Amino acid sequence: MNHQLEVISVTGLDETGITDLTQHLQQLNFPSGFSGEIVFEFTLKKGRVGRVVLDDKTSILKDAVVVETIKRSLLVWRVPPSTTAKLVLILRIHT
């Protein structure tokens, strides 16, 4: 199991959704030498992830490679069509 990425919290999802998102994101691989917390805000509507925004005031880790890797992964994440929410996702990366 990939322990490079840990989901610290997700505001706006139930436990099933959090588990699904965690499993989806833990498939990612990052270059070595990165660590810190990163915060994203995005919306879910009709089973799709909307615009993903890095919260650069709260995020400690802001490396473009890491940010873009996570953004691309979030944009292809499949969620149930009935899920509509505004999410705040806090991740910890340690490579």
Phi first, then psi, for residue 46 (nearest 5°) are: 55, 40
Pair 93, 34: CB distance under 8 Å: yes
1 pLDDT band, cuts 50/70/90, is very low
CA angle 59, 31, 3 (to 5 degrees): 75
What type of residue is 49?
Answer: V
The pTM of the full predicted model, rounded to 2 decimals, is 0.89
Segment 38-42 mean pLDDT: 96
pLDDT for 52-86, tens place per residue? 999 999 999 999 999 999 999 999 998 877 778 89
CATH code 1.10.287 for 5-94: no
What residue ranges do the domains of the chain occupy? 5-94
SS3 label, residue 14: coil
